[in-house]
Amino acid sequence: MLKSTSLLSCLVCIFLLQGMVLSAQKDVDQLMLKKIHREVLLHGEVYQWLRGLSEGIGGRLAGSPESMEAVHYVHRILDTLGLDAVRDQPCIIPNYWTRGSVEKVIVQTDDGDVDLSCTTLGGSPSTPKGGLQAVVIEVQGLDDIERLGRDVIEGKIVFYNRPMDAGKIETFHAYGKAVDQRVFGPEMASKYGAAGCIVRSMTNVLDDVPHTGVTIFRDKVKPIPAMAISTRAADKLSALLRKGMYNVYMETHAENHGPVSSFNVLGEIKGSQHPENIIVVGGHLDAWDNGTGAHDDGAGIVQGIEVLYTFKRLGYQPKNTIRFVAFMNEENGSGGARAYADSAKQSTDFHLAAIESDAGGFTPRGFTYAADSSVLGAYKEQLESGIEAALCPFDIYVKAGGSGADIGPLKGQGALLFGLRPDPQRYFNFHHTAIDRIDAVNERELKMGAAAMTSLVYLLDNYLQRPDAANK
């Protein structure tokens, strides 16, 4: 009986000791996360770096001279941080595209010409010399093209006018439901013989600001001139069409130049215990040329750099290798993402996790994550065992969902992928526009996003383990 009592007492002591250790570690983690936030908020350089990137360089569409200037700019910043390695990684841009100097969409009415605020879609060819003039026909989606058929569509300018659903709380879901008409609408119109295409801008805001973005022509479909008009211009054109048929004049001097070479930019702090395990942070370095890409995705670039900079300032030596990647060509080709993923496949390193910031520099709300089904369960268990709870006092959630376009190719290699999720309500006011500039970014909100990313990286570095399925 005495033996049993002693054993029970020992077990109780062990459990109490374990509880005390866990409680102490939680206190250490909370103190570190507070240090991270205070350091970033008081001494972070993200806003200054963003000013240099967005306003000093401007729009930097992949393949352009400005994009190469951005490569050099980021490389120079990384060189000043005392990192263990900084390098440029070659990649191929599938198609270097230039906008040209002329963009016009004009409705010709009996009362005179009506100019519509417009911008050319990335990948569009130029109009014929002297512009393009044709009858315009309004549709709501790609299905309408098939329903109307070649007899109605041929020779006309197709006008896609399906708005984003303002009733959806999640603006990215609304964008996803509407953006097919921009990405694939011109291609579908061309298949049925259309001469040109106009698309309503992807935003819930009613204004005169047009939004560009990529359009894709596949399967040997003849590229046709494709332009976006502002939401107010779209409503104006639609109102005119309800009165009858009108000719529209389009003119763009855009050009497709084919493949060119470029670079991703990488910088890292080597892990002290598991240097072969990689935790990636970053965003995409390219940005549409009509603005300066402050939110999309200058914010993600400088936030990723700030993660490494904060660790260096705090003297934190990670157990795993923390690597920043500035991906090139997310907007119109994903050449940088493919180059990085191909390099990762050939390496003996293991990508434990990757975090992408590509949703603007607004107040962070949390992170969503995804992983291959073979490892998702093991990762989910680890996240729920303490990482989620550690971020909760900072009003940061962690839940299943998507990640990011540039880190997506790492999914099949066993990595746990995260996307930073800032407040999304204003993002599509600025997305792909001339007003996506530094004055649209709040410095404190930008810093809060960087602090959230640094906090998550710290927790992953200390608690995330390679699942058995990924070690095979």
Least trusted range by pLDDT, from 2-11, 122-131, 153-162, 209-218: 2-11
> 285 and 301 in contact (C-beta within 8 Å)?
yes
178 and 130 in a common domain: yes
- Report the CATH number at residue 201: 3.50.30.30
251 and 159 in a common domain: yes
- Report the CATH number at residue 329: 3.40.630.10
Per-residue three-class SS string for 15-69 = HHHHHHHHHHHHHHHHHHHHHHHHHHHHHCCHHHHHHHHHHHHCCECCCCHHHHH
Residue 239 pLDDT exceeds 80: yes
102-122 average pLDDT score: 96
199 and 267 in a common domain: no
Distances in Å between the alpha carbon of 407 and those of 9, 191, 330? 51, 33, 10
Domain for residue 16, yes or no? no
Q: How far apart are CA 274 and CA 64, in angstroms?
A: 38
Residue 21 pLDDT exceeds 50: no
Q: How far is CA 95 from the centre of its chain?
A: 19
278 and 247 in a common domain: no
436-464 average pLDDT score: 98
216 and 144 in a common domain: yes
β-bridge pairing 350-356 and 274-284? parallel
CA angle 117, 432, 136 (to 5 degrees): 40
Does the pTM of the predicted model rise above 0.75?
Answer: yes
Domain for residue 14, yes or no? no
218 and 263 in a common domain: no
pLDDT band at 317 (very low <50, low <70, confident <90, very high): very high
Residue 425 pLDDT exceeds 80: yes
| Domain assignment of residue 302, given as a range | 35-96+259-471
Can you tell me whether residue 329 is helix, strand or coil? coil
Q: Closest Cα to residue 185, out of 116, 251, 139?
A: 139
Distances in Å between the alpha carbon of 336 and those of 8, 95, 288, 309? 59, 13, 16, 23
**Model pLDDT for residues 171-208, shown as the tens digit of each residue:** 999 999 999 999 999 999 999 999 999 999 999 999 99
Residue 15 pLDDT: 55
For the chain, what percent of residues have pLDDT higher than 70? 94
Domain for residue 19, yes or no? no
Total tally of structural domains belonging to the chain: 2
Domain for residue 23, yes or no? no
> 438 and 54 in contact (C-beta within 8 Å)?
yes
Average pLDDT along the chain? 94
> 69 and 265 in contact (C-beta within 8 Å)?
no
pLDDT band at 26 (very low <50, low <70, confident <90, very high): confident
Can you tell me whether residue 305 is helix, strand or coil? helix
Residue 400 pLDDT exceeds 90: yes
179 and 73 in a common domain: no
Distances in Å between the alpha carbon of 378 and those of 69, 279, 385, 388, 468? 42, 17, 11, 15, 8
pLDDT band at 470 (very low <50, low <70, confident <90, very high): very low
Higher-confidence position of 331 and 26: 331
340-365 average pLDDT score: 97
158 and 206 in a common domain: yes
Domain for residue 3, yes or no? no
User: Which among 224, 255, 286 is the end of a domain?
Assistant: 255
Q: Closest Cα to residue 425, out of 118, 229, 171, 239?
A: 171
Q: How far apart are CA 206 and CA 234, in angstroms?
A: 10
> 250 and 220 in contact (C-beta within 8 Å)?
no
> 353 and 279 in contact (C-beta within 8 Å)?
yes
User: Which among 255, 288, 316 is the end of a domain?
Assistant: 255
Q: How far apart are CA 60 and CA 292, in angstroms?
A: 8
Sequence-separated (6 or more) residues with CB below 8 Å from residue 274 = 319, 320, 321
Q: How far is CA 368 from the centre of its chain?
A: 13
Domain for residue 307, yes or no? yes
201 and 167 in a common domain: yes
299 and 216 in a common domain: no
Residue 25 pLDDT: 72
Q: How far is CA 371 from the centre of its chain?
A: 18
Domain for residue 113, yes or no? yes
Distances in Å between the alpha carbon of 143 and those of 180, 186, 426? 11, 13, 30
Adjacency order of strands within the sheet including 103-109: 112-115, 103-109, 247-252, 132-139, 157-160, 196-200, 226-229, 118-120
